[in-house]
Amino acid sequence: MEGINVSKHVEVPGDPTKTGTAILETATATIQGFGPINKIHQHLCAFHFYGHDMTRQVEAHHFCGHQNEEFRQCLIYDRPDADGRLIGLEYIISEDLFLTLPDDEKKFWHSHLYEVKSGVLFMPGVPGPIQRQDHEKVAKTYGKVIHFWQVDRGDTLPLGIPQVMMALTRDGQLDQNLAQDVEKRFGVSFDEEREKRAYMEGPAHGIHPLANAAGKGIHTVLREVDCKPVESVPKVFV
Amino acid sequence: MASSDETPGPMPPGDGSVPPGKSVSIGQHVIDKGAQLLQTLKPIKHMNQHVCTFAMYSHDMTRQIETHHYLSRVNQDFLQCAVYDSDDSNGRLIGVEYIISDRIFETLPAEEQKLWHTHEYEIIAGLWVNPRVPEMVQKPELKNLARTYGKFWCTWQVDRGDRLPLGVPALMMSPQGVNLGMVAPELVKKRDESYGISSKDLEEKRVDIAGPETTMNPYANYWMQTGKGFAIDVELTDMKKTAPFP
């Protein structure tokens, strides 16, 4: 597994941005409103793995905004840089909201308790005492992650279909190469944080048995369907 | 087993808000403010365009939505977009779209191309707009964007009443000039009124953007040639593991 999960930046195909395009986009950035984007206030780093394959693990940089106290929506990038690739998204909900989900839905959501208490989920650049105030809350939440771009297998473009991802739930799952690489790059120590977070508690009702897909693997498959209404679709004859 | 074209199970109605939940606490505001001061949020700052347009579900093109894309450009041939259902600060994150040039699109295998849609029609028809940007400022780039292809996954089907992001991601398609691709006039009218614009006026101004018909790839806008859309199914299977789970 040496080096396999360590982040590598592969170039997205294409020409460098032209001057004219860049100039226009500087203008649009100034003139337009970015309402929903301006709500994004936090950067969280954590790890995800594919819902059917724990061996494929990805460093995930979340940029999150609160819709309300119990709901966050996050954009996920492979690196926290201006050229980071948008690889997926995550929704984070309180235990109360999780319990209102239909049972069939609960399997898509993973618990955050282990990620928080083990120290592997962190906010780059934010001092421990401030971070921990947030982590205390996150420890009780559930998340639903979808990835669209399988950067870990070297895809230079977002190919294929969405992947439901899962999160770490116990010791022994996280690839140590990946862990150490992240610790080094961000100057953090997961073990030190773990000690400081020992006091934190998880969901009041315990981790729900249907969460984390109840331990099963989740796999997505593409299916063709007939457009409706079928009769009215004109066939374009080439 | 769950699918993107399946209706999800019931949820308690609550107070009807989407999503439900208590208001953000003072404590959370303080944490967020602290984080904002200390973190640079670079990928978010790199988003520099807002586009408002329309899309429909590939498994049911009668379901059409207004979308708000926030684009960031990776290079001349590739943009990545966070998609919301409105442009105000309460906008819900409903999905992600990737936009690529025709040059890059041609390098994709046919099976992949079927998942993508063209943008030419919606730009020429004045459906795709950059709110607040004068048309003459925008026009030069529209010609480039008219030749791009998009792949749009919707993760929150707000239009069917989901108060939380339920189910499996759905593939979206773009407006086209025929039948199932035509956007309902009342949807366009509502959008135009909220921005004080006229798609019809824009259409007149954009007449010269049209490219030759033959450039449209046969696999994109898959429904047009085949009458078929796509759904995503989720199957439970054995997970490949290195340690017990969960």
Per-residue model confidence (pLDDT) at position B217: 82
In a domain, A203, yes or no: no
How many domains are there within chain A?
1
Output Rg (C-alpha) for chain A, integer angstroms.
20
A192–chain B nearest CA distance, Å: 21
**From B103, which residue of chain A is nearest by alpha-carbon distance?**
A14
Residue B123 has pLDDT above 90, yes or no: yes
Distance (Å, whole) CA A193 – CA A213: 28
Per-residue model confidence (pLDDT) at position A2: 37
Residue A230 has pLDDT above 80, yes or no: no
- Residue to substitute from A61, A86, A230, interface B, most B β-carbons within 10 A: A86
In a domain, A86, yes or no: yes
Query: Does B35 sit within 8 Å of A42, measured CB to CB?
Result: yes
In a domain, A12, yes or no: no
In a domain, A228, yes or no: no
Distance (Å, whole) CA B94 – CA B86: 10
Query: Does A69 sit within 8 Å of B28, measured CB to CB?
Result: yes
Which amino acid appears at position B167 of this protein? G
pLDDT over 70 percentage in chain A: 92
Distance (Å, whole) CA A72 – CA A61: 14
Q: What is the pLDDT of residues B59-111, one digit of tens each?
A: 999 999 999 999 999 999 999 999 999 999 999 999 999 999 999 999 999 99
A165–chain B nearest CA distance, Å: 12
Instruction: Supply the range of the domain harboring residue A175.
Output: 43-197
Residue A210 has pLDDT above 70, yes or no: yes
Per-residue model confidence (pLDDT) at position B15: 87
The arithmetic mean of pLDDT across residues A70-86, rounded, is 96
In a domain, A36, yes or no: no
Instruction: Out of A86, A144, A228, name the one closest to residue B96 (CB).
Output: A86
Per-residue model confidence (pLDDT) at position A11: 85
Distance (Å, whole) CA A7 – CA A3: 8
Give the length of chain B: 246
**From A95, which residue of chain B is nearest by alpha-carbon distance?**
B21
Query: Does B115 sit within 8 Å of A161, measured CB to CB?
Result: yes
pLDDT bin (cut points 50, 70, 90) of residue A237 is very low
The arithmetic mean of pLDDT across residues A195-211, rounded, is 97
CB < 8 Å to B73, chain A:
17, 21, 25
Average pLDDT for chain B:
93
What are the E-state strand segments in chain A? 40-50, 53-68, 71-77, 86-93, 110-111, 142-147, 163-166, 217-226
Per-residue model confidence (pLDDT) at position B211: 66
**From A65, which residue of chain B is nearest by alpha-carbon distance?**
B32
pLDDT over 90 percentage in chain A: 89
In a domain, A29, yes or no: no
Per-residue model confidence (pLDDT) at position A218: 96
pLDDT bin (cut points 50, 70, 90) of residue B35 is confident
**Contact criterion met (CB below 8 Å) for B157 and B3:** no
Per-residue model confidence (pLDDT) at position A9: 64
Please confirm whether the linkage preceding A36 is cis (ω < 30° from 0).
no
In a domain, A48, yes or no: yes
Stated pTM of the model: 0.95
Q: What is the pLDDT of residues A4-33, one digit of tens each?
A: 445 556 689 999 999 989 999 999 999 999
In a domain, A149, yes or no: yes
B204–chain A nearest CA distance, Å: 22
